[in-house]
Amino acid sequence: MTAARRIPLTLAVFAVTAAFSLAQFSFPAVLTSLQRTPAIRDGQVWRLVTSLLVQDGGWFGTISNLFFLLLVGALAELTVRRWLWATCYLGCGLAAELIALSWQPTGGGNSIAICGLAGALTVALLARPLRPSAAWRTDALGSDLRPRHLWLPAGVAWWSVALLGTASEVALYIGAVGGVAVQIALVAGGEQGRGNRTLGRIVAVGALLVGIALTALRNIHGPPLLLGAAICSASIYASMRIWKQSKRER
């Protein structure tokens, strides 16, 4: 199976988002017409959805968000069920848009939706060991988590670094040091290192701490990351309850 056929949902969302995000540079009215504004309170509720399709960070912010949509989105689609992917992306994105009406009423970007996926991936890193031999296999335990991609810790780490950049330059530099350290550990460790459970847990805890810190700073990227983790945790708990119940009934 080709790589593209493994991540159809990610590619579909990427294509739609890229079309609107790139069009805004030729037609500025695309951004002003679709972004989040206080007009949502006056009835333009569709902006809660369309603001996930345009970017308010210029060329750099647009390219960055599209790149991480592919990276984090692909890792998430290879790790969790697609219904959970959609729930974390759209659900967390919309929840963050509602919070942003108070914290940052004008703007646009899909980074808050990506945060929902990243939150789900932190749970994936905490829930199970990252055994390289398990890559791409179906989950035998019946939970909504599939075995982790070998490079999952790196994807979560670098997205956390990008989020720190939304707080301050100092936070970005500190985070970048951590991101480089994670990358070096993955490369130096070979397949065994990429499946290291402790490293994955450190990255996951670090990402959740970033989410907590951003929430405390009233940064709109914090809540969707934590919400994504909560949704994924609830999904695992529910599926494991169902699995254990079915096992007892056999």
- Integer Cα distance of 18 and 36 in angstroms: 18
Who wins on pLDDT, 138 or 187?
187
Who wins on pLDDT, 155 or 127?
155
- Tell me the pLDDT tens digit for each residue of 149-175: 567 889 999 999 999 999 999 999 999
Band (pLDDT 50/70/90 cuts) for residue 147 is: very low
Who wins on pLDDT, 35 or 189?
35
Query: What per-residue confidence (pLDDT) applies to 51?
Result: 97
Over residues 32-54, the mean pLDDT reads 96
Query: What per-residue confidence (pLDDT) applies to 2?
Result: 65
pLDDT at 202 over 50: yes
Asked if 228 contacts 88 with a C-beta cutoff of 8 angstroms, the reply is: yes
What's the whole-model pTM score? 0.89
Query: What per-residue confidence (pLDDT) applies to 145?
Result: 44
- Tell me the pLDDT tens digit for each residue of 174-192: 999 999 999 888 888 765 5
Three-class SS of the chain: CCHHHHCHHHHHHHHHHHHHHHHHHHCCHHHHHHCECHHHHHCCCCHHHHCCCCCCCHHHHHHHHHHHHHHHHHHHHCCECHHHHHHHHHHHHHHHHHHHHHHCCCECCCHHHHHHHHHHHHHHHHHCCCCHHHCCCCCCCCCCECCCCCCHHHHHHHHHHHHHHCCCHHHHHHHHHHHHHHHHHHHHHHHHHHCCHHHHHHHHHHHHHHHHHHHHCCCCCHHHHHHHHHHHHHHHHHHHHHHHHHHHHC
Query: What per-residue confidence (pLDDT) applies to 152?
Result: 86
pLDDT at 216 over 90: yes
pLDDT-above-70 percentage for the chain: 85
Over residues 135-158, the mean pLDDT reads 58
Q: Which of 135-144, 179-188, 195-204, 217-226 has the highest mean pLDDT?
A: 217-226
Asked if 18 contacts 65 with a C-beta cutoff of 8 angstroms, the reply is: no
Query: What per-residue confidence (pLDDT) applies to 127?
Result: 80
Over residues 141-150, the mean pLDDT reads 45
- Tell me the pLDDT tens digit for each residue of 74-87: 999 988 889 999 99
Query: What per-residue confidence (pLDDT) applies to 199?
Result: 85
Domains and CATH numbers, the chain: 3-128+145-249 (1.20.1540.10)
Query: What per-residue confidence (pLDDT) applies to 72?
Result: 96
- Integer Cα distance of 225 and 223 in angstroms: 5
pLDDT at 53 over 90: yes
Over residues 22-38, the mean pLDDT reads 96
- Supply the mean pLDDT for the chain: 87
Band (pLDDT 50/70/90 cuts) for residue 205 is: very high
Q: Which of 248, 4, 28, 214 is nearest to 115 (CA)?
A: 214
pLDDT-above-90 percentage for the chain: 70
